[in-house]
Amino acid sequence: MSSSPSDSLSSVLVDETIRICRELIQIPSVNYGDGQGDEKEVANHVVKLLDEVGIKSRIYESAPGRCNVIARIKGSDSNLPGLVVHGHLDVVPANASDWSVAPFEAEIKDGYIWGRGAVDMKNMNAMIIATVRDWKRTGFVPKRDIVLAFFADEEAGSIFGSHFMVDKHPEVFAGCTEAISEVGGFSVTLGNGKRLYLIETAEKGIHWMRLTAHGRAGHGSLLNQENAVSRISEAVAKIGNHQWPQRYSATVKTFFKKIAHVTGKTYDEKDLRPLLSELGFASRMIGATLQNTANPTMLEAGYKANVIPGSASATIDGRFIPGYEDELNETIKMLVGPEIVIETITRDKALEVSFETDLVEQMCLSLIKHDPDAIPVPYVMSGGTDNKALADLGIIGYGFSPLKLPADFDFMAMFHGVDERVPIEGLAFGVHVLKDFLERS
């Protein structure tokens, strides 16, 4: 049987998505934090990919090497508000000795593309670019303006990325009212085989803190009741061992009501944690959306084995449920006591928007078109995205980077994890859903 023209175009779309994803991974754009990152090479490649099909874009360099790419595709109806479709170009570091493959070679193995950024989030960048290249090949014109935004620095607070663009160049988002980006539209298979697709309509807020303890410096052989290392260690242990109370947002309640309905299990709003067991690998991330969290991530103290330093510090990754930022901050102060100095490294807002919108309806219809068994649900993301910055312009953001995932694939472990990889079949599904959604919207 010969293939139809539509089959051929579909093959080109998928092949380009795979190729572009691999090319983006093969350009290391590592963000080390504290302003140490470089997205210039990958930004130039994005510009090249767009320019090849006649899409003009511009690089906005917020600091040396910190590059953002913006392009606007004009829609057929200038009366409709624009949609921002965005991704970030930076990735977290990868220690090659920990990996079973080279993290920046984008090797294809076992039906997956392996490499740093395969999930977070060069896969979505590839789907976006492949879709708009397909439009240029076929002559498709979207109904509304589509603003493509590829940001720097998302992995370290977005200071050189989306926040820079919103603060210094808000004009590029003129007329836009909604946005989509990462970590949404992916599938989670429940124990009973039902397949949910989680659309991100809320995300926890961020408060990264540096704690500093001061004490009396001295020789390591002497008695010292004012040891800064002991003080910071006690503070970190208290934070790390604290049991945070359950705090349920409106989105969390909607999500778990759906879980209870689909599984036939009891919905008890006094304690939703028993339903986490239905979610498999996703339970770790979803569990973190039921409460504030504060995880110690870094320690720094001393310079010699026999010298007690005069100060010691720790870094805390704090995340708060929408509406519970003050509780997070006051609890940290109470736990560490007045002798520990608390400084803010990065702080950004929590978000929560409605699931009952026309845009979300189009997401749901696109998912169901390509997977008739799809059950779309809203969820809270435990991390954060560049939608936080766009919210300062009144732009309502969602997480929608669709993927159909194998039931036994630990997707959440891929984010910042060793041997990060994305299934090729899931990516092929995702680009078709994304293209369908953008053409509906």
Q: Which residues of 218-252 are buried (b: 16+ CB within 10 A; e: fewer)?
A: eeeeeebeebbbebbbebbeebeeeebeebbbbbb
Question: Where residue 304 falls among pLDDT bands split at 50, 70, 90?
Answer: very high
Is the pLDDT confidence value at 281 over 70?
yes
Bridge partners for 342 per DSSP: 211
**424, 113 in Cβ contact below 8 A?**
yes
- Output phi, psi for 52, to 5 deg: -60, -30
Write down the pLDDT at residue 183.
93
pTM strictly above 0.85 = yes
Write down the pLDDT at residue 9.
52
**155, 86 in Cβ contact below 8 A?**
no
Positive or negative, the Cα torsion across 415, 87, 202, 198? Answer: negative
Write down the pLDDT at residue 170.
98
**What is the pLDDT averaged over residues 289-301?**
97
Q: What is the pLDDT of residues 216-257, one digit of tens each?
A: 999 999 999 999 999 999 999 999 999 999 999 999 999 999
Residue with tokens 């959306």, as numbered in its chain: 289
Which domains does the chain show, CATH number per domain?
5-193+350-440 (3.40.630.10), 206-348 (3.30.70.360)
**What is the pLDDT averaged over residues 27-49?**
97
CA distance 345 to 430: 35
User: Which residues, 6 or more positions from 321, have their beta carbon under 8 angstroms from its beta carbon?
Assistant: 204, 205, 247, 249, 289, 291, 292, 350, 380
SS3 for 438?
A: helix
Bridge partners for 348 per DSSP: 206
Output the average pLDDT for the chain: 96
Q: What is the pLDDT of residues 351-393, one digit of tens each?
A: 999 999 999 999 999 999 999 999 999 999 998 999 999 999 9
Bridge partners for 83 per DSSP: 146, 178
Bridge partners for 218 per DSSP: 308
Write down the pLDDT at residue 4.
47
**181, 386 in Cβ contact below 8 A?**
yes
CA distance 42 to 87: 13
Write down the pLDDT at residue 3.
43
CA distance 151 to 84: 12
Write down the pLDDT at residue 7.
58
**107, 101 in Cβ contact below 8 A?**
yes
**35, 96 in Cβ contact below 8 A?**
no
User: Which residues, 6 or more positions from 308, have their beta carbon under 8 angstroms from its beta carbon?
Assistant: 215, 216, 217, 218, 219, 220, 222, 224, 227, 228, 229, 302
